[in-house]
Chain A
């Protein structure tokens, strides 16, 4: 079974600083995908970035990058030059390959950007 662990319930960062949100995972699937989602106070889950387990390079999307360390089973999200609008809950998720397609989510990290 897949499992996602996010050990940081809350993070406080100064505006314009970089921040790393931790995510470790456990899976027995040989091939899998890792996702990060952002959930602002409005409730909607917004897709940020995807990393395939066989991708050679770490994924990047604008200010978001994924520090993928397969041997350590970690997929940390790095946000560069943080902005006030980055304040939100952040969820790491892993895709289950077998059976019905679905994502298994971690408990999330609440990120607060201070001006």
Chain B
């Protein structure tokens, strides 16, 4: 059983839809991350939140909008996506005093039609 929970596990949406991915962790971590995993590509870091403040945004298009209301929850709001945005979106968290290990959720498989 993972300490990081992502919902929904699967999402199919049209290019004009608005949807959100949710991530929740109860590990007491204060840093949370969104990664994108496309076929045949390395995991790409999208956003990093530390103490609920966004500290990194890796040139992600504005159609992806993250939100971190508290240290346990992270959202990724999706708006007017493109078919190439279809991927597995992985949420992770980490402890600041740890070795740097990331604890991942099972991911949300997104398909954009």
A residues in contact (CB < 8 Å) with B: 4, 33, 35, 37, 42-47, 50, 52, 91, 95, 99-108
Q: Chain B contacts of A108 at CB under 8 A?
A: 42
Stretch of B64-72, B76-84, B88-96 at the chain-chain interface = B88-96
Closest to A6 in B: B42
User: In the complex the two chains form, is A47's CB within 8 Å of B56's CB?
Assistant: no
Inter-chain CA distance A47–B102, complex, in Å, is 8
B residues in contact (CB < 8 Å) with A: 2, 31, 33, 40-43, 45, 48, 50, 55-56, 88, 90, 92, 94, 96, 99-107, 109
Q: Is the interface of A mostly helix, strand, loop or mixed?
A: strand
Given A100-B50, A105-B43: A45 and B101 within 8 A (CB)? no
Given A52-B99, A107-B41: A42 and B106 within 8 A (CB)? yes
